[in-house]
Structure 1
Amino acid sequence: MSTSSSSPAVQPLRPGPDVGPGPEGIRRVFIRDLVAGCYLGVHSHEKGSRQRVRVNLDLGVRDGGPPEGDSIHEVVCYEDVAEGLRRLLAGPHVNLVETLAENIARFCLEDPRVLSVRVRLEKLDVFPDAAAAGVEIERVRRGA
């Protein structure tokens, strides 16, 4: 492949009015591999003792472009999400992984800027011959 010496083969992208996220854009806010102990499970040996779980979250957030004021208050803060997630995991006993995943999704969707959430919740010490067992759900805000 030959290129002219007067123009480079690759042109840098120059943002303009038609390039970049618009009012319909989606920003992904995520938390990967948060590990915590929680009271979870239906079996008698699971009641009354914490089990290790791993949580992965992927939030689809309404994105109107770069934060104009470069302020944390203009975005969905992953630190706030992680703190809320830790509070849920530290809460009372839940029987089903599915129920806890739904509770996590509901918490994430409390912020009106969050359009969708994917929750992957894994129990880490269920089987000696498997790294984890769990569920993954995705919930989308109605009308999003």
Structure 2
Amino acid sequence: MSLDRITLSGLRARGNHGVFDHERENGQTFVVDVALGVDCGPAAAADDLALTVDYGRVSEQVVALVEGPPVDLIETLAQQIADACLEHEGVHEVEVTVHKPEAPIQVPFDDVAVTISRSGR
């Protein structure tokens, strides 16, 4: 089966993820991109939201995970987001990128990001 993609880019939320105390105490902004591998054919043919993934609901779940209990690594956060996305009926694969633009590194930079790809059912 050839999969279509539903993409959410630039979801922003404040979280307290990181290994350093100041990251846990002060928090920082995280930016998340999610690409869902789905079959849009049935929904497009019927023009019916019930036959596709509600990306509004997915975006709310992503933000809730970023704002939720802290983890040390953005790799862990990315995995939690991927797992939540794969629980949606019709999502066969997902690619998640978690950006940490305020990462505590000592050289000039634009972004730090981790991208993972996972497949489900």
Q: Fold-level match, TM-score > 0.5?
A: yes
| 2:119 alignment partner AA | V
The structure whose Rg is larger is 1
Ranked by relative contact order (alpha carbons within 8 Å, sequence separation 6 or more), the top structure is 2
Which whole-Å CA distance do the structure 2 matches of 1:82 and 1:132 have between them? 21
Kindly state the Cα deviation for residue 25 of structure 1 after the two structures are TM-superposed: 3.4
Number of matched pairs: 119
| Runs of 4+ in structure 1 over 4 Å off | none
Instruction: Report the residue type matching 1:131 in the other structure.
Output: D
Aligned with residue 71 of structure 1, among 48, 53, 66:
48
In structure 2, list runs of 5 or more residues that go unmatched.
Answer: none
Instruction: Judging by fraction of residues, say which structure has more helix.
Output: 2
* Within-5 A mapping of 1:1-144: 24-126=1-103, 127=105, 129-141=108-120
Tell me, what secondary structure is at the counterpart of 1:114?
Answer: coil
1:64, distance to aligned residue in structure 2 (A): 3.9
Scaled by the length of structure 1, the TM-score of the pair is 0.75
Q: Is the 8 A contact 2:86 2:92 kept in 1?
A: yes
Q: What is the CA RMSD across the aligned residues, in angstroms?
A: 1.6
Distance in 1 of aligned mates of 2:109 and 2:7: 25
